[in-house]
Structure 1
Amino acid sequence: MIHTAQETQAAPSLRRNAAWLLENAPHLKEKEPLAAGGKHAGKQISELLREDPWYCQWIIRAAKDEDASCNMRDMAAWLAENATNLKVHTILAGRCQRL
């Protein structure tokens, strides 16, 4: 909400709500996004990076999708800036070849 309220097309009510949050919950000013949804909901991305780096790799891939949410893109941007050593491996779709 706070991030969205900074956009030029944000509704005045959204801006007021975000201002109230920033005044009454100062910890929300942190730039690090929180994971939204699923088993990791509410965790800071730095914590998620330590606990589940494979999930962080998925976030980076999923954020490239046209339908990715703003939160997904924010998480991926934070990871790109702060976890530069995180390697994203391409997952090949199709049949597995047994050696």
Structure 2
Amino acid sequence: MNFKQLLHFTSHAVGIILRGMLDDGTSGMWAIKRSSGICIVQDPNQAEYPDMPLSVINNMDVDYVSELHLRHLSPDCRTTTQECRIGH
């Protein structure tokens, strides 16, 4: 599911940027933030590809910057928009 498909969830949406190149995740995070959703970004110093996390951080106020890695996300969060838990 991409960011545009999440827009109908409005305030229930949580955007998580783990890594990436370019800045295409920034527009989706803007949409989530405008709808009172939560924006979480991986610490660019911990990201394999820091361009996208840096773009989001440099262009908007995010709710959390964390040392997240894909292994920290519950399996549900990797494949669906259902319950998503973050832990170490």
TM-score range (shorter-chain normalised) is 0.3 to 0.5
- Which structure carries more relative contact order (alpha carbon 8 Å, separation 6+)? 2
Structure holding more strand per residue: 2
More helix by share: 1
Bigger Rg, structure 1 or 2: 1
